[in-house]
Structure 1
Amino acid sequence: MNEPGQKVNKSGHIYLGVILLTLLIYTFSIVSSCLQNDAPYSRFQDSGIRSFSEDWYIADSSGTITTIPEISKWKEDSQGPVTFSKTLPELTDYDCLFIEVNYTYIKVFVNDLCIYDYSAGKIKAPSGMTGHFTAQIPLNTDMGGQTVSIEVYQPYKLLQTGLNSIKLGTGSAYITDYLFSHIELIISLFFMLITGIFLLALYLWQKNRGRWEGCSMLRPLAFLLLLSVIWVFTDSQLPQLFWKNPVIVCVLSFYSFMSLPIPVFSFVGKLCPDKYGILTRVQFLLLLNIMVQGVLFSLNIFSFVEMLPVTHFLIVFSVIVLLIFLLKRYRKDRSPYARPMLAALIVLIVSALLSLIQFYISPQTDNSRFLRYGFLMFIGIMVYICIRVMLAFMHDYTEHQILKDLAYRDFLTGVENRLAFENLMDEMRGVDTPVPISLCSFDLNNLKVTNDTFGHKAGDIILKAAALCITDTFQGLGRVFRIGGDEFVVVIQSPGVDLPGLIEKLKDRIDRENETCEFSFSVSSGYASSEAACGNAMNLLLRKSDMEMYKDKAVYREQIHRCIDEN
């Protein structure tokens, strides 16, 4: 005869076989579909966006023509406007010219007709600050075969004159092309945003649970991620999908870029305490720089682009200070977190230097790419450090909770002990605001007789049963304490409690327990309550509750003596 266990084992093998067969059929279907050569082609077709950056030329005042094979690779230090020209191909009424503008002024002409004007005399930007955006210039069929000219003027001496890319096509085609060509940027933004929101939510959750110290480093790390998202997003062309003012986007980009080191210093300060306040002073300096640059920009004195060398200098200075600080901490204290933070900082420094070099050599290119990759690696290491810190904190917190539970809980009955009761009473005595309080005192009747007659094991059984009955009766209403050998107290911190009804409920619960308990028992009870108790009034309530309990015990003894006399 087959055992039940054998039947279950056989059914499990059959189920596993069915799963494997299903996977095999699924794999065969996919592979055979991929190998089919005459399958219908349903992929979305290219909608016509094409590069228009090749074979431009510059004609100087003498008529000399200089051909530029690739316009994105041309750049020079020019004190005045430079004009690029090229013949337009055959066009449709839906075609547009897309020119990436990087803090420059531009004018676009078809023959001698100006069709686009983004110059100092046309726009009114605060502090003369130009934006970083892609200009979309509508064309039509009549312009096909005519000469298009782009006049470029770089107002900032620290940047070279030049253009990044020029494309020709429809608006929807350009958007699709940009999104697909910058999919890595979008994925990075999404990853940083989700991680930042998760860390911030985790920090708020842990703080709400009272675990502030163990999760305090999550806050600066979350802010660093969210600031990075703002900077990378505003440094790209993605905001043009949502906003039309490029200057606002650039202001957000500069503010977020200047603020990036601040949460880094806060994070390091949480893990490696700064005895001399060095990190705080550098943070203050960075905040001062943000305020001063904001004032100068608002007063139309300098634009953020003109003050960019100051920002770069302060960021490099901050990184050097942070590097020296971590090296000293590692050598002096052998901090377990100094080494991974040093590694993360070195990665960030290398990526930042590459981005700075690229910015000053070729400002038209994606200058945040290297720093973006460095930030992702830096944040990954910081998250690793956070996990280590939180695991260590959770280990210490768990040990602390276990020790606290051992110190404040009665081992025999499982309810809180006298030390926990005294601590609660001290807390309530220190409260100045009146609060509703009810105290119930209980004392086991004749526990000493049971111990002397049946032994202390019998007394322990009764104590456990009594604690169980009291806990069941007052569950969700108050806290139960064993404050002596056979004494229990319940503290209720809510108004409108029916204490007489609860005492009767407890007696019924004890009667039911006595039906199954090896040794029957009973309790004497007393209670006292106040709707507005504070300070030393707690002592009066406890004394009154005890007095009521002793009165009840005296009644119990009289009943026992009466029964003995009658017998």
Structure 2
Amino acid sequence: MKWLSKKSLLICLTLLMLVVVVVSMIVTTGMPVREDAVNMVLDDWTTEQVIDPPDEPYYSGEKTVYQLVMSHKVTSEMRGKVISFRTNDSYVDAYLTDVTGTPEDDAVHIYHFGERLKICDSPGTYTHFIRLPESAAGQVTICVETVYANKFMPSYEVAIGTQNELLFNYLRQNLLSGISNVAMLLAGVLLVVIYTVGRAKHVSAPETLSLGCLSIVFAVNLNCPLFLNQFLYQNAVVQYYVNYFSLFLLPLLAMFYFEDIVPDLRIKWPFYSFLVLECVLSVLHFTGIASYTRTVKVFSAALGILAVMFIVMIAKRYRQMEKINRISLLLLLAFVCSNVLFFIFVSTVGDQTFIVRTGFLLYLALSVVNGLRKLMVEMNRERETRLLQTLAYTDNLTKLGNRYALERDARKCVLERTSIVSMDLNLLKMVNDTFGHAGGDMLLQSAAKCMTSVYDQVYRVGGDEFIALLDGKDSDDLQRLYDRLKQKITEMNDSRKDYGAFSREAEFRLSIAVGYSAYAAGDSSYEQIMSRADAAMYAEKKTMHHGRSR
């Protein structure tokens, strides 16, 4: 069924993700007001670790509440400032208290982060900004309750400064990554635009759509760990959902892209298998049966198996691919391998995606150029086709349709509603002999202008012969149009402004013999109607010739 196609399912999943994100923005409240930056590190914190396993843990050995209590004496330099640090999968509360350790009942609660939602355990990753009042005294105590053991930290680097200082510093730290992500997002949008324009121009380039969507989702996912993401969303739950769903969409979009660029690649069963796995993992996670960490581990293992499968499948069809796609894939693979080597032998801290991100941006640049090239080639081809069609069906001198155009359009007409006017230009030979071919051309162009001012569809079917094709006209209508044409001829001969360089030549004048006929019972083709119109035209031409002879 059409609605069960791979792309339809992916569109539905994307829309579902957007609905979840929008709903989460509406229903989640209590998120802290933004304050941001890293100006000065605040040392000398007193810390205490409290491990408090619940009576009925969600997951044996993994879901345990790990709590860190940090305390620091409030000094005069700290009053009115903002303290800031970043946590992963942790709930945070801050108090002003006179004692070290867990706050007592008389403590002042100055900060809270993390609403305990029913559909997941983790409040996500967040950079906290805790403003200390000007009147703050005693100690500031921060309680960090971490959901997952592998995310628990025994201490945090806490920064202090003004809100603007912190904000500027965090954004500055994310500047290069943010710029590359924005570039990736814009490249994806450009590829989607190229696909849309190409579709309108009947250009086949499905890979621009799949790669464009992949690029957009990849940029969104890469942006999730950055402070810039928090600055944009102002909601940790929304960040959490965007990160989770964008991660799960990436392999599905990648499969679509490979299907578009690799000839004869079939992804039906890998796609549906992976889709089912992702749906199961999402249900397990958001019902609290499995943690984010555990579902992502399963996802990563399945993704590794899928990657090996696709490498083998693509390698078998590598030589069948377009040259630009082969080069681009090799370039991207080189960057991925470089990133892996960097991670293993150079550094395991900091941004571990910058090499892959750089390679993917180059890959996108090549794809954009290739997409634009395809679009321009097809548009030029379409322009040439239209030009050839115009030349095939248009009289070059008068710009009217020719005999081929008449036959084409006549076949489209309803015979019973068809009327034909036959017209023959008089004096053309005399004008050619007297004024040369320039005079003859001007006379033909003037005749065409005169005819088209009365009839909509006029065709030049011979040297001095013209046909007008009409729809739904009776004999009275045809007579009125005949009279209007004769009046127009008289007006042009009187004004002579349409005759150009020959306007002062008395012998240069317009004379047209006209005959017309409408459909009659028993007619089986438009040629029969035209035959009667020609007969009427020749009868008038004979009368006009005799008139000139006298």
Structure 1 length-normalised TM: 0.66
Taking structure 1 as reference, are residues 446 and 143 closer, same or farther at Cα in structure 2, changes over 3 Å only?
closer
Offset of residue 351 of structure 1: 7.4
Q: Secondary structure at the match of 1:128?
A: coil
Name the residue aligned to 1:466: 444
Q: Please, which runs of 5 or more residues in structure 1 have no aligned partner?
A: 1-46, 62-76, 531-535
Name the residue aligned to 2:328: 341
Q: Secondary structure at the match of 1:340?
A: helix
Q: Distance in 1 between matches of 2:206 and 2:287?
A: 38
* Contact kept in structure 2, 1:438 and 1:528, CA below 8 Å: no
Amino acid at match of 1:389: K
Taking structure 1 as reference, are residues 78 and 348 closer, same or farther at Cα in structure 2, changes over 3 Å only?
farther
Q: Distance in 1 between matches of 2:94 and 2:69?
A: 9
Q: Deviations over 1:480-512 (max 9, x none)?
A: 543445443456899999956873576358644
**Matching of residues 22-421 of structure 1 within 5 Å:** 49-52=38-41, 81=66, 83=68, 85=70, 87-88=72-73, 90=75, 91-106=77-92, 108=94, 111=100, 112-113=102-103, 115=109, 116=111, 118=113, 123-140=116-133, 146=139, 148-155=141-148, 161=153, 165-208=157-200, 211-214=201-204, 216-272=206-262, 274-275=263-264, 277-279=265-267, 281-302=269-290, 304-331=292-319, 333=320, 335-347=322-334, 349-350=336-337, 366=351, 369-411=354-396, 413-421=398-406
Q: Secondary structure at the match of 1:278?
A: coil
Amino acid at match of 2:41: F
Q: Deviations over 1:167-188 (max 9, x none)?
A: 2223333222222222223323
Taking structure 1 as reference, are residues 426 and 312 closer, same or farther at Cα in structure 2, changes over 3 Å only?
farther
Taking structure 1 as reference, are residues 389 and 520 closer, same or farther at Cα in structure 2, changes over 3 Å only?
same
Taking structure 1 as reference, are residues 201 and 149 closer, same or farther at Cα in structure 2, changes over 3 Å only?
closer
Percent of aligned positions with the same letter in both sequences? 18
Taking structure 1 as reference, are residues 278 and 556 closer, same or farther at Cα in structure 2, changes over 3 Å only?
same
* Contact kept in structure 2, 1:415 and 1:467, CA below 8 Å: no
Taking structure 1 as reference, are residues 405 and 132 closer, same or farther at Cα in structure 2, changes over 3 Å only?
same
* Contact kept in structure 1, 2:423 and 2:514, CA below 8 Å: yes
Structure 2 length-normalised TM: 0.68
Q: Distance in 1 between matches of 2:484 and 2:159?
A: 82
Taking structure 1 as reference, are residues 290 and 141 closer, same or farther at Cα in structure 2, changes over 3 Å only?
same
Moved more, 554-563 or 439-448: 439-448
> What is the aligned residue count?
482
* Contact kept in structure 2, 1:441 and 1:527, CA below 8 Å: yes
Amino acid at match of 1:503: L
RMSD, aligned CA: 5.0
* Contact kept in structure 1, 2:450 and 2:485, CA below 8 Å: no
Amino acid at match of 1:417: N
Amino acid at match of 2:297: P
* Contact kept in structure 2, 1:78 and 1:161, CA below 8 Å: no
Q: Distance in 1 between matches of 2:116 and 2:245?
A: 22
Taking structure 1 as reference, are residues 138 and 402 closer, same or farther at Cα in structure 2, changes over 3 Å only?
same
Amino acid at match of 1:278: R
Q: Distance in 1 between matches of 2:178 and 2:360?
A: 15
Bigger RCO of structures 1 and 2 (CA < 8 A, at least 6 apart): 2
* Contact kept in structure 2, 1:271 and 1:337, CA below 8 Å: no
Taking structure 1 as reference, are residues 270 and 376 closer, same or farther at Cα in structure 2, changes over 3 Å only?
same
Q: Distance in 1 between matches of 2:68 and 2:366?
A: 48
Amino acid at match of 1:329: R
**Matching of residues 401-480 of structure 1 within 5 Å:** 401-411=386-396, 413-426=398-411, 441-445=421-425, 454=433, 462=440, 465-467=443-445, 469-470=447-448, 474=452, 478=456, 480=458
Offset of residue 251 of structure 1: 0.9
* Contact kept in structure 2, 1:447 and 1:459, CA below 8 Å: no
Taking structure 1 as reference, are residues 60 and 413 closer, same or farther at Cα in structure 2, changes over 3 Å only?
closer
